[in-house]
A and B are shown apart, each in its own frame.
Chain A
Amino acid sequence: MKSYKGYTQLVLRINGQMRKAVVSPNDTLLYVLREKLGLTGAKPGCENGDCGACTVLMDGKPVKSCIILAVEAEGHEITTIEGLKDTPIQRAFVEESAFQCGYCTPGFIMNAHAMLNTVPDADDHTIKEWLSSNICRCTGYEEIKRAVAKAQKIAGGV
């Protein structure tokens, strides 16, 4: 049985690399990514699991890193926005100007990327179901919708 008490060195697999950090059991994954590992792409927003700005992938599935303890991530593959390089969804976001202030963008991209990998031919209902997990305070939803449609085409899903 694994157990953690107080500060301990934790090894996490992030973006394909084994990364070490000294963490406490009460540290969230979001906090450790940003403050201990310098991966500031995932953003603190509501820190309540509502806004989706902190979305990362855990074993390919989108999760909100503000409501996961870092110790829970041990043994899982974590992907942050820093781990994506020139993916169809990133290109589509740029081409469609699918951001204004940009704060929600990493969360949207991580979620949309996971959706395109899981359901490449996602229909409008599925896209809405997945992406309703993220909030854009600038309300740039139309551009985001267009970017997801374009990424689907680039990736050959539809």
Chain B
Amino acid sequence: MISFDFEYYRPDDIKEAAEVYAQLQKDGKNPLYFSGGTEVITMARKGTLKFDALIDLKNIKEMNGYREDEDGIYFGANMTLNEAAEAKVFPFIGEVVRTIGDHTIRNRITLGGNICGRLPYREALLPFLLYDAQVYIAGINGKKALPLNEAFNKRLSLSAGEFVVGFKVAGKFKNSKYQSIRKVRTSEIDYPLLHIASIKDEEGIKIAVSGLCAFPFRSYELEKYVNGTPNTVEIINNVYRFIPASVKEDNLATAEYRKALFEMSLEKILEKWGEVK
């Protein structure tokens, strides 16, 4: 039960969504876009999120499904995690998103919602960061495409009234090798203490991490160091120079425990990539 009243709008296209957001703001209201709604509804019920209106983006066709063209594969932000996993166009995306929540909830959580959410994990982001995806953002001034790695710094940079329409991944990444390690406290269905995702292509090893800090990240400095340093022990000893924030400490794990998991998991990943000399 959500204890406060709000208005609900279900626009049919991007323009309508941006316009109703602008109008609601003009009227002094606090609107919020939503799609799967899993996070929005639970937070609203708990009273940690307040809004005057919800703008449901699920009816916007451009944001649904995936399609392939000569530039790559476009993933609509409304794709549920199960749809993304079942698409099988990029098995690595499937491997990563299958670890989020449970199967039933993945029929509602969307790619856009997970990536734009308020939780610190946002694991669906990891493969898209590694694949140098383009993110399509819409607002009252139309639509734009940005490199995800530039648009994301702790959070996806969205101005008021903007929302994510979809992501595009270049076809060349289809052949990249991939691996991931996800650590949880006890149950398989839980937030990650640590989730490392990694791909290897002609440019070298690429690494993205969730759970270690208060936000997911991909560190180019870390990748440069990893690809230029043949000794794994040396990499592990110096790794925290390249981590963009302090290691998270909460009721799930201490920072020391997370660090130990990170070091062991990174070592395993590097071993698998054949970097151990």
Contacts and interface: CB of A to CB of B under 8 A. Distances in A.
A61 B109 CA distance: 13
A71 B7 CA distance: 11
B6 A61 contact: no
A89 to B, nearest CB: 16
Contacts of A72: 37, 56, 58
Contacts of A67: 37-38, 41-42, 105, 108
B12 A69 contact: no
A47 B1 contact: yes
B16 A132 contact: no
Interface in A8-52: 24-26, 28, 31, 47-49, 52
Interface residues of B, number: 35
Contacts of B41: 28, 49, 67-69
B104 A69 contact: no
A1 B10 contact: yes
B1 A31 contact: yes
Contacts, number: 92
Contacts of B224: none
Interface of A is mostly: mixed
Interface of A: 1-6, 24-26, 28, 31, 47-49, 52, 55, 58, 61-64, 67-69, 71-72, 111, 129-130, 132-134
Q: Which 5 A-B pairs have the closest CB atoms?
A: A133-B104, A25-B8, A133-B102, A26-B2, A2-B10
Given A28-B41, A52-B104, 20 more contacts: A1-B16, A2-B9, A2-B10, A3-B9, A4-B7, A24-B5, A25-B6, A26-B1, A26-B3, A26-B44, A49-B101, A61-B82, A61-B107, A64-B104, A64-B108, A68-B41, A69-B54, A129-B103, A130-B103, A133-B103
